[in-house]
Structure 1
Amino acid sequence: MQALPDVETNLHLTSLSMPLASNDARAAGIRNILTLLGDPLEKPDNENTFISAINLARHIRTTHDDYFYVTVKGYPGLPLFPPKAGANLIITQLFFDASIFLKFLDGYQRIGIKCPIIPGILSITTYRTFMFMTATCKMMVSPEVREKVEELKRDNTVLG
């Protein structure tokens, strides 16, 4: 992808099981990294693995200064993290209640976060997809939204 003209590559790096020495992104000419938590391991491969996406983002910033444009995840509805490890951008977890996002945004602005924050949203297209995404992403869903989707669960057509 990196070799294609006018294609901006954004490498998704999962922090769990990511050895400290495995960063070849710079050598490949990649400039954008999205740090993610990843799936937890029963036991890390060694003691030099990251235990959180924030630690991975901090390591990238410390090791490579401003070479990379670092994006991290934000989690509306959960306690605020301290300043996001020098991130250039925050993309939130998916949500359905705008008030949760606005509270999240206000909280980060109050603690001095100045980077852009993009809301993660999900169009509800099918009941099955809705159920899978809300369970997988541990999304907060209001009773009103859940009730409306439940009413449509036997309808196999696209909801949106």
Structure 2
Amino acid sequence: MMTISFSRLSSERGFFSSEFSLINFRTALLKMMKLLLLVCAIFAVTSADFTRKNAAEIKAAREACWDELHLSDNFRESMKKYEYPDDAAIHQAIKCTGLKLGVWCEHEGYHRTDLITQFGEDAAPIFDKCLSKRTDYDSVEKWAWHDWKCFVDNGLKDHYKKVEN
């Protein structure tokens, strides 16, 4: 019968020696550091997609949409007073502005995290209450209008005024 001495095996192969363990530790540490850097880089790229817009950028986006859509002066004045009648032209203007500002897309609707970046964490309950699904509406324009009107009717107007000033 053959017996194996573990102490002899470990000393011959260096299996439990400090040199072998140190090399494995360094290799593992380097791999973990590379993984951590990769995760940080991915997070930085995905977090950097949206930047908060200033008042001039918001106004430029809004007015560009109004001009592109040939929005009437009456509708422009209504929107400046935070009044959003249920009309196809208003629906299109709201969708267009959301797209230009980068807070809305036709597949997901308004992007909650981007809205919070733009308007602040204290506006999050408004978004939670108002964000809806595309399937609830017959057009993406009506969907954009409905959610935006809900935001404004539930207090976003005050946050929006802070951004505009």
TM-score, structure 1 length as denominator?
Answer: 0.22
Question: Which structure is richer in relative contact order (CA contacts within 8 A, separation 6 or more)?
Answer: 2
- TM-score, normalized by length of structure 2? 0.22
Richer in strand (by share): 1
Determine which structure has the larger helix proportion and give its number. 2
